[in-house]
Amino acid sequence: MTSEKHPLLEKFTEQIQHCTRCGFCQAHCPVFGATGRPALNARGKMLLLKEVLAGKIELNQELVDSLFQCTTCASCATNCPSGVDVPNIIKAARQEMVGLGTCHPAFTGMNQVLDDYDNIYAEDEPEDFDRERGGKAEVVYFIGCVGQYREEDATEAALDLLDHLEVDYTLIDEVCCSGVLEDVGFSIKPALAEKNIERILATGAKTLVTGCPYCYRTFNGKEIYAPLREAGLEILHFSQFLARQNLGVSTDLKVTYHDPCDLGRHCGIYEEPRKTIKALALNFVEMPSNHANALCCGAGGGVRGAYAKNSLAMARKRLAEVEEVGADILLTECNSCVHNLANAKLRAQKFQVMTTAQFIMELLED
Amino acid sequence: MDQRDKEAIREIVGADHFSDELIDLVSYSYDSSDHDHRPDCAAYPADSEQISRIMQLANERGFAVVPRGAGTSLAGSAVPINGGVVLDMVRMNRILDIRIPDRQVVVQPGVVYADLQKALAPLGFCFPPDPASGKVCTLGGNVATNAGGIRGAKYGVTRDYVLALEVVLPDGRIMHTGTKCMKSASGLDLTRMFVGSEGVLGVITEITLKVNPMPTASRTALASFETLRQAGQAVTDIMHSGILPSVLEIMEENTIRVLRENYGADLPDVAALLLVETDGYTDAEAEYGMQKVVAAFDANQAKTVSQAKDRAEAEKLWAIRRAAGSVAGGLRPNNLSEDVTVPISKVPDLLEGIQKLMEGHKYPFVIFGHAGDGNLHPKIMFDGSDPEQVKEVHQIAEQMFKLTCGLGGTLTGEHGIGLAKAPYMRLEHEEMAMEMMRLIKLTLDPNNVLNPGKMALDE
């Protein structure tokens, strides 16, 4: 059935055939959950690609709203009885489409922005957080675009906490890791990667701590960032770094935790964030979906930018679980999740949404 | 169907609830079977009134209407083989009423099975027929296909729980069948006629279901046998023992080998495994049942018997059974998964017969299923991109259906006929019964607009 027209996609021909169309992914796909539209579910996407490979339909603009509307949360793959690697198939399909000149304008725009700017928001003036940049230190704290330009309070709290813990750290003149471009059909920008690598290594740090789970994935997994790993740098997400600290605060409030997809399903980091939270919140409660089954906040894969309404609907589904367990505080370890969840929160929902660092800083200040 | 028809449907349901976009048309071309056909458009109706208007239009204009739940059919029942409009019932997804004193719930057809269970669980109740697709399938689909499940041995199938229906008939009239009473001897049983009708007689728009108090105790055990006959005799002995197990699953040697080699399951090299669960409202009740089961295992020289000490151990045994289908399915790109069913005592004959059928063929296959109600799931793995293999596997399937019917069995225990088994209807049903089915279809749907092409009714 291969048409030899789509080399990137054809690598996955057997995988796509393995989809038995059972539709079980509908129970887990956040996009389906928000829209009820099976064409947007993993099965719907696999069917489109099956027909593309069979030469029945073209990989063109008509498929964009399905193939580019995926948060890459990987809950379909986690729960697929046939073991279909949906996120990587979708990634390949998007790259194939971009190669053919077809893409969602939001992603084309994102790629262009990163040709001209150092960050995905096309911002000129980064917040400097009144901290040293590019000094020599044991630890480099890498903020990430969302923390740098959208969730500054969360970043401020993370840095205050590092100060409180007397960590020897520095910031750098960081640029976007550009890892997300691979998810939406483009490639990591070598020029950006080189700047990050050079500036991180110049600090002489032994440990690189990222505030963003996606940057963590990029530095840890992408070939272009291999020099960081080859230099012997230990790469940690902030939640892993925190799990090693003694914080000495506690709360009686009812606290729950949202697993970011990039940290949980993509990296298997479930327990370290919980270790920190459980140590300070005796009244910790899990939401109905948690760990590998956690609902996605709806922000990932560029969906927040490209399909804002559905992205917020996904976040609201997640927030409904917070209400269901009656938590006072929803903590998470991803600035992007905080951003989307906080935006989606209704006024009637009285709980607070923040990062673990923000919560710890509040407790310390009390 | 032309542009004017699409516009008329769009008008009825509203522009936001209509689609003729390619991505939706491709998605609605398929279910979980090997069949596919593109519809002309899709509509997401809000109520029976809108469906009624669409049906009237379909009769005037002569296009097909295909109701659809989660599209998990393994038989092609949801495939719009004549095109037309697919009615995705996703918006009609409300649980309308839960009346525990009456032991009843009233639901719309788009309610997901698992959502009903979730609503009933805090009340200590459940809807017992539990299809494997429970986390996604809809109750409308369950009723339309008379869905079964793993606990059929004790709790029966969907048909046993449907008390009343609201149905939009093919000509657009809205009919109410059945009763809100737990028993009724009143008139012909129209409700049952629609259960399992695969959407060819009417669009189900409201369902009144009987619910059960949820059993609170269970026991689980797994036994292995050197021969199929011993396992078969153990099933027979359990049936004689005066208890009804809530689950009685069988897995034959190929399944066991696949689970060992491809799933790492710690299983002995034997001819058959039986996985049995007994349940009840007290521990003593579940335990009493399990004692009878273990006695039947012992009397038939079970090679090993593992009894789960707690829920976690039971879960491990269940995980093995649940993995069987997908692990085997992974051996080749495609698989044929059937649900042939025979009287309980004929299960060993059917197992042996299928094994014999497969001799000399190159295809990996497994057989597992619900020995407690005679429903087996043979699964044959093949490569669907090779037309020769497709042809040969379908020939094997036909022989399997002949074997099943020869044992007094039925083509389908729970998946339905749809397109996949329509060619074999006459193996099971005599000509007069076929004629009666066609007559009923013709009476209700003279223009053959509702889910045409299914069940060999319009031949």
Q: What is the mean pLDDT of chain A?
A: 95
Rounded mean pLDDT of A136-164?
Answer: 96
Residues of chain A contacting B329 with CB distance shorter than 8 Å: 18, 20, 81-82
The reply to whether residue B136 touches residue A51, judged by beta carbons under 8 angstroms, is no
The model's confidence at residue B82, banded by pLDDT at 50, 70 and 90, is very high
CB A68 within 8 A of CB A94: yes
The reply to whether residue B330 touches residue A26, judged by beta carbons under 8 angstroms, is no
For residues B250 and B189, give the distance between their C-alpha atoms in angstroms, rounded to a whole number: 34
Answer yes or no: is pLDDT of B177 > 50. yes
Residues B187, B294, single domain; the answer is: no
Rounded mean pLDDT of B116-137?
Answer: 95
- Which comes out higher in pLDDT, residue B56 or A17? B56
Write the pLDDT tens digit of every residue in B59-72: 999 999 999 999 99
Residues linked to residue B219 through DSSP beta bridges, in sequence order: B278
Any domain includes B423: no
Following DSSP, what letter does each residue of A5-36 receive, concatenated? S-HHHHTTHHHHHH-----GGGGT-HHHHHH-
Residue among A18, A44, A63 whose CB faces B333 most closely? A18
The reply to whether residue A17 touches residue B333, judged by beta carbons under 8 angstroms, is yes
Rounded mean pLDDT of B348-372?
Answer: 93
- How many pairs of residues across A and B have Cβ atoms under 8 Å apart? 84
Residues B245, B319, single domain; the answer is: yes
At A101 the pLDDT is 94
Residues B100, B205, single domain; the answer is: yes
Q: How far apart, in Å, are the Cα atoms of B427 and each of A270, B338, B343, B406, B434?
A: 55, 16, 17, 9, 11
| All CATH 3.40.50 domain ranges in chain A, comma separated | 139-243, 255-365
CATH architecture, domain A255-365: 3-Layer(aba) Sandwich (3.40)
Rounded mean pLDDT of B193-197?
Answer: 97
ipTM of the complex: 0.94
CATH number of A139-243: 3.40.50
Write the pLDDT tens digit of every residue in B396-423: 999 999 999 999 999 999 999 999 999 9
Rounded mean pLDDT of A77-81?
Answer: 92
Residue among B30, B330, B384 whose CB faces A47 most closely? B30
Any domain includes B444: no
Q: What is the mean pLDDT of chain B?
A: 95
| All CATH 1.10.1060.10 domain ranges in chain A, comma separated | 7-101
At B333 the pLDDT is 81
Any domain includes B68: yes
Instruction: Please tell me which residue of chain A has the smallest CA distance to B69.
Output: A38
Residues of chain B contacting A17 with CB distance shorter than 8 Å: 333-334, 384-385
Residues B159, B219, single domain; the answer is: no
The model's confidence at residue A69, banded by pLDDT at 50, 70 and 90, is very high
Write the pLDDT tens digit of every residue in A22-33: 999 999 999 999
At A2 the pLDDT is 44
Residues B13, B67, single domain; the answer is: yes
Supply the pTM of this predicted model: 0.94
Write the pLDDT tens digit of every residue in B268-317: 999 999 999 999 999 999 999 999 999 999 999 999 999 999 989 998 88
Residues B314, B226, single domain; the answer is: yes
CATH architecture, domain A7-101: Orthogonal Bundle (1.10)
Write the pLDDT tens digit of every residue in B303-344: 999 999 998 999 888 888 888 888 888 888 888 999 999 999
Any domain includes B452: no
At A30 the pLDDT is 97
Residues B316, B240, single domain; the answer is: yes
Q: Dihedral of the CA atoms B183, B189, B193, B195 (nearest 10)?
A: -10
Any domain includes B437: no
Rounded mean pLDDT of B233-250?
Answer: 95
Domain end, chosen from B90, B124, B149, is at: B90
Query: Percent of chain B beyond pLDDT 70?
Result: 100
Look up the CATH number of the domain holding residue B281. Answer: 3.30.70.2190
Answer yes or no: is pLDDT of B169 > 90. yes
Q: What total number of domains does chain B contain? A: 4
Any domain includes B60: yes
Sheet with A329-332: list strands edge to edge.
A255-258, A329-332, A352-355
At B327 the pLDDT is 86
Residues B193, B220, single domain; the answer is: no
Any domain includes B456: no
Residues B345, B235, single domain; the answer is: no
Rounded mean pLDDT of B225-251?
Answer: 94
Where in the sequence is the domain holding B98, given as residue range(s)? 93-213
Q: What H or E segment, with its residue span, contains residue B347?
A: helix B347-358
Residues B387, B357, single domain; the answer is: yes
- Our CA-based measurement puts residue A36 at a distance from the nearest CA of chain B, in whole angstroms, of 6
Q: Helix-strand-coil percent breakdown of chain A, rounded to 5?
A: 50, 10, 40
- Our CA-based measurement puts residue B56 at a distance from the nearest CA of chain A, in whole angstroms, of 26
For residues A54 and A22, give the distance between their C-alpha atoms in angstroms, rounded to a whole number: 20
Write the pLDDT tens digit of every residue in B368-385: 999 999 999 999 999 888
Residues B317, B335, single domain; the answer is: no
